[in-house]
């Protein structure tokens, strides 16, 4: 992985998504991360 700090930001809920990202894009990113690690990251609480 080229930028592991981005994964940590997404997991922590502190990643600033580009304005062009839709909720569907954000969910796809979250699901990809969940696929790497089975823990439940509650980013959208």
pLDDT recorded at residue 44: 45
- Asked if residue 41 is part of any domain, the answer here is no
pLDDT recorded at residue 6: 85
φ and ψ of 12, to 5 deg: -80, -10
pTM of structure: 0.54
Q: Which H or E run contains 26?
A: helix 23-36
- Asked if residue 26 is part of any domain, the answer here is yes
Q: Structural domain of residue 22, as residue ranges?
A: 4-36
Q: What's the structural domain count of the chain?
A: 1
- Asked if residue 20 is part of any domain, the answer here is yes
**Distance of alpha carbon 19 from the chain centroid:** 15
pLDDT in tens, 1-42: 567 788 888 888 899 999 999 988 888 888 777 775 444 545
pLDDT recorded at residue 1: 53
11 and 41 Cβ atoms separated by less than 8 Å = yes
- Closest residue by Cα to residue 15 from 2, 23, 26, 28: 26
């Amino acid at each position: 992985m080229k930028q592991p700090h981005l994964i940590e930001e997404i997991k922590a809920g502190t990643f600033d998504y580009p304005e062009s990202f839709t909720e569907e894009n954000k969910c796809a990113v979250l699901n990809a991360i969940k696929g790497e690690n089975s823990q439940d990251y509650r980013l959208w609480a």
